[in-house]
A and B are shown apart, each in its own frame.
Chain A
Amino acid sequence: MATARAPRSLLDRGAPWRVCQVTGYQVFTPVQRLIVFNAVAAVLSLALGGVLALFIALTRWEAVSLLPPELYYRFTSTHGVVMLVFWIVFFEIAALLFGGTVLINAKLKGVRFAWTYTALMAVGAIVTTATTLSGHANNMFTAYPPLVNHPMFYVGIILFAVGALCGSCHFVYQVWSARREGVIAGPLPLVVYGLLTAAIIAIWTLLHGAVAYVPALFQALGWLELDPAVYRTLFWGFGHGAQQINLAAMVACWYALAALTTGARPVNEGLSRFAFVLYLVGINMGSMHHLLVDPGIGMHARIINTSYFMYAALLGSLIHAFSIPAALETAQRARGFTEGLFGWLRKAPWREPGFAALMVSFIGFGVIGGVSGVLMGTMQLNMLIHNTLFVVGHFHSTVVLGTTVAFMGLAYYVVPLVMKRDLAFLGLARWQPYVFGAGLLTLIGGLMLAGKLGASRRAWDASFSLAPLQVESLSSPWLSFANAVIGLGGVLAVIGGAMFVLIMVATVFFGRANERPAVGTLGVLAGREGPKSDVEIPEFDHHAKTFQAPGTTTLVFVFLVWFVVMFAWASINLARVGWGVG
């Protein structure tokens, strides 16, 4: 790769470069500020969303009942859009900028273009947040017609989405250029492959978003009237696809964190890539999870779409569910932690923030998020769950316990390395994933219990106690208990989130400058300059007659049993309704 190249090339040596003292990566320095800007915007969104979450949780807790109805709906609308869109997407753009340059040792082509779309996203985020926070968009970010939000809400979202679309295309272009110019000689690193999957899904999804939000803006301006069912179909083409972006980006983070914290290498590059391809197959599907008990859709359309075409996307996740712990197990066994089935797991670096985040995210997403998602996505079972608080419990276990925790884990490495600063409050960081995870588990438990008891989502008062026709079953003490659990869990989760925000802000603005920031066991990155691990992690033996990862094989089958039991339990619950429905 030493051949002379044109100045516009990805390897342009005239460009400002530095070599990372820890990882040995070639870092194109102008991209650092871009990554940090996007990461800071993400963290600020998270901080605002967290403050709102505190108010919402304390309103759900009946004994506190903090906010009046109007403010509750306003804050819930803002919390939704700030967290699900701004925090997640800003971070994803930071990750794409990182993956599209640092991880492939390339410069960024079009730095000014990147600043333009970053600015577009920032302006869009500010416009939408200001509109919602000032009470002009209380109809949630779904804003199902005929309800409409203020036009500026849509203007902000569209600006933001155009920015994010440019960012995703930019990443695809970077990878394509890197391949064309031979910067990447062989296959892509698996993490970049996962990010590429996320970027492709993002492009497709954001185009869906344009088809939904541009007409919605026209409706808000009074130019046209939208059909409610058509809008819902278009909106969820965007809304559900967006969750597939998060899924692919989160799994890419898992592979990265496994490598950073234990030196794990993928057990089967081909199979893991196939699993990402399965996500792409499910790209356009799953949107009907949200429409399973809607009028206007045929049976086959519902079943084939909700199953991601015979659960192609689920199969992808089940492959990752094996290959990530198998990679950890192989690496740990190579280090000599071979005792029994689970010695490798007991001796894992649980005090390493990235590993803690990986485990909280992986287990939380898999055991709760994925399983509850499949239950809800089963057409008939959806009748018991649609629009109850169980749904809210589900997406807090996927997007928050899963994606957000994985992103937090990655931030503990990327931010110090890019900033060349020590991670502030390392001691706090060791606890943060567990505190946040415990808060979320409590919150999700409360939400799911309340949903099972019939609490409707997005209602200021879960027991409908002010309704003219009282609903006796909703004034049960169990529902009050569930609401209190939601309140407590919410407060604890906000504390965990605040710990992360504090660590990040302190690192970015006040962290001690250090060319070789101490970021845990990051040095185990094999095959790079800088400190290597003293152990070569062997390849997974694919020809062995015995099980190479017996602990993982045991765990995944325990997981499968849990999955089957939960499915059976939900089916029994539906049968026990007793009433004929059809």
Chain B
Amino acid sequence: MSALSVPNTRYLERVGRDERVWLLFAIVWCLFLFVIMYVWQFFGSQRTPIESYRIEPSEFRTLTQEYVAGHQVGDVNGVPVTVPTEQGEAFLAARAFAFEPVLQLRRGESVRIYLSSYDYQHGMSIQPLNLNFQVLPGYVYVVNLTPTSTGEFGIVCNEYCGLGHHVMSGRIIVTD
């Protein structure tokens, strides 16, 4: 009569008092955890980006280069620094082993970032906010950001992308 041997045949026992109380709380907690995701997604300020599109990596490269050519305002260590378009759009490309261009944003102004990769899978990790998104070649992930603090924010890659994975970085600059 243990878990290792055959139980008596009436194993459909009545659920005891201790078990009933615990089950009730457990079910309520499970349902809460489920519902809270919808609540946060509709009413929260930090929502998981959903919008995405397919794109050929070569086409994304062309669009990004056009965007950089038209909106470059400077450079850091040879990496172009750009500002968003008038419609508040920006392109951010991941490649082995860098994020380009550097984005210069304004506090309180929303920007619609088109995020994709030229080559492998990468991960965009904005530091020190620790906001993390997957970057896939062939897909544009639309990440809407509204900065509320100023300064320099680093981007590092957090998906293994080859032997240079640990030198792959980028930057977001937020000004007033």
Task: Mark A residues whose CB is within 8 Å of B.
Answer: 69-70, 73, 103, 138-140, 142, 144-147, 184-191, 227-229, 232, 255-256, 258-260, 263-271, 273, 291-299, 302-303, 306-307, 310-312, 314-315, 318-319, 322-323, 326-327, 374, 378-380, 382-388, 452-454, 456-461, 464, 466-474, 525-528, 537, 540-550, 552-553, 556-557, 560, 563-564, 567, 574-575, 577-582
Could you say which residues of chain B place their CB within 8 Å of the CB of A267? 16, 19
Q: Among the listed A140, A188, A191, which residue makes an inter-chain contact with B160, where contact means beta carbons less than 8 Å apart?
A: A140
Could you say which residues of chain B place their CB within 8 Å of the CB of A547? 17-18
Q: Given A103-B4, A191-B3, A295-B136, do A311 and B33 touch, yes or no (CB 8 Å)?
A: yes
Could you say which residues of chain B place their CB within 8 Å of the CB of A542? 13-16, 19
Complex-state Cα separation, A572 to B29, whole angstroms: 18
| Residue in chain A with minimal CB distance to B135 | A295
Q: Given A315-B26, A580-B145, A580-B148, do A454 and B19 touch, yes or no (CB 8 Å)?
A: no
Q: Among the listed A142, A186, A470, A473, which residue makes an inter-chain contact with B9, where contact means beta carbons less than 8 Å apart?
A: A186
- Range class of the B interface residue count: 35 or more
| Residue in chain B with minimal CB distance to A567 | B33
Complex-state Cα separation, A545 to B21, whole angstroms: 12
Complex-state Cα separation, A119 to B166, whole angstroms: 39
Closest Cβ of chain A to B130, distance in Å, is 5
Which of B66-120 touch A at CB < 8 Å? 76-79, 98, 102, 110, 115, 119-120
Q: Among the listed A319, A466, A544, which residue makes an inter-chain contact with B17, where contact means beta carbons less than 8 Å apart?
A: A544
B48 touches A294 (CB 8 A): no
| Residue in chain B with minimal CB distance to A378 | B37
Complex-state Cα separation, A271 to B149, whole angstroms: 51
| Residue in chain A with minimal CB distance to B27 | A315
Secondary structure class of chain A's binding surface, majority of residues: loop
A454 touches B127 (CB 8 A): yes
Closest Cβ of chain A to B49, distance in Å, is 6
B6 touches A185 (CB 8 A): yes
Could you say which residues of chain B place their CB within 8 Å of the CB of A265? 1-3
| Residue in chain B with minimal CB distance to A76 | B160
Interchain Cβ contacts under 8 Å between A and B, 24 examples: A187-B11, A268-B15, A293-B49, A293-B134, A294-B136, A295-B53, A315-B30, A318-B26, A386-B134, A387-B158, A452-B130, A454-B127, A454-B156, A459-B165, A460-B165, A467-B156, A469-B171, A473-B127, A525-B4, A526-B5, A540-B16, A550-B18, A567-B33, A579-B131
| Residue in chain B with minimal CB distance to A24 | B5
With most chain A CB atoms within 10 A of its CB, the pick from B7, B31, B143 is B7
A380 touches B46 (CB 8 A): yes
Could you say which residues of chain A place their CB within 8 Å of the CB of B131? 383-384, 577, 579, 581
Complex-state Cα separation, A421 to B1, whole angstroms: 26
Closest Cβ of chain A to B69, distance in Å, is 21
Complex-state Cα separation, A582 to B77, whole angstroms: 31
B154 touches A472 (CB 8 A): yes
Which of B13-43 touch A at CB < 8 Å? 13-19, 21-23, 25-27, 29-31, 33-34, 36-38, 40-41
| Residue in chain A with minimal CB distance to B142 | A295
Could you say which residues of chain A place their CB within 8 Å of the CB of B129? 577, 579
Let me know if B64 is at the binding interface, CB within 8 A. no
B127 touches A474 (CB 8 A): yes
| Residue in chain A with minimal CB distance to B51 | A295
B154 touches A474 (CB 8 A): yes
Could you say which residues of chain A place their CB within 8 Å of the CB of B37? 303, 306-307, 378-380
Q: Among the listed A189, A460, A548, which residue makes an inter-chain contact with B5, where contact means beta carbons less than 8 Å apart?
A: A189
A229 touches B18 (CB 8 A): no
Q: Among the listed B2, B49, B119, which residue makes an inter-chain contact with A526, where contact means beta carbons less than 8 Å apart?
A: B2
A187 touches B127 (CB 8 A): no
Could you say which residues of chain A place their CB within 8 Å of the CB of B25? 557, 560
A387 touches B2 (CB 8 A): no
Closest Cβ of chain B to A358, distance in Å, is 12
A473 touches B13 (CB 8 A): no
Could you say which residues of chain B place their CB within 8 Å of the CB of A563? 29
Complex-state Cα separation, A312 to B33, whole angstroms: 11
Closest Cβ of chain A to B80, distance in Å, is 12
Complex-state Cα separation, A283 to B45, whole angstroms: 32
Q: Among the listed A228, A472, A526, which residue makes an inter-chain contact with B1, where contact means beta carbons less than 8 Å apart?
A: A526
B144 touches A580 (CB 8 A): yes
Complex-state Cα separation, A323 to B20, whole angstroms: 12
B30 touches A295 (CB 8 A): no
Complex-state Cα separation, A541 to B13, whole angstroms: 10
A380 touches B156 (CB 8 A): no
Let me know if B146 is at the binding interface, CB within 8 A. yes
B11 touches A273 (CB 8 A): yes
With most chain B CB atoms within 10 A of its CB, the pick from A267, A268, A556 is A268
Q: Given A310-B30, A543-B14, do A386 and B3 touch, yes or no (CB 8 Å)?
A: no
With most chain A CB atoms within 10 A of its CB, the pick from B1, B23, B34, B48 is B48
| Residue in chain A with minimal CB distance to B170 | A469
Q: Among the listed A268, A311, A466, which residue makes an inter-chain contact with B166, where contact means beta carbons less than 8 Å apart?
A: A466
B123 touches A299 (CB 8 A): no
Could you say which residues of chain B place their CB within 8 Å of the CB of A469? 76-77, 79, 98, 102, 154, 169-171
With most chain B CB atoms within 10 A of its CB, the pick from A293, A299, A311, A578 is A293
Complex-state Cα separation, A404 to B6, whole angstroms: 27
Q: Among the listed A326, A383, A468, which residue makes an inter-chain contact with B48, where contact means beta carbons less than 8 Å apart?
A: A383
| Residue in chain B with minimal CB distance to A327 | B3
B134 touches A378 (CB 8 A): no
| Residue in chain A with minimal CB distance to B25 | A560
Complex-state Cα separation, A525 to B25, whole angstroms: 33
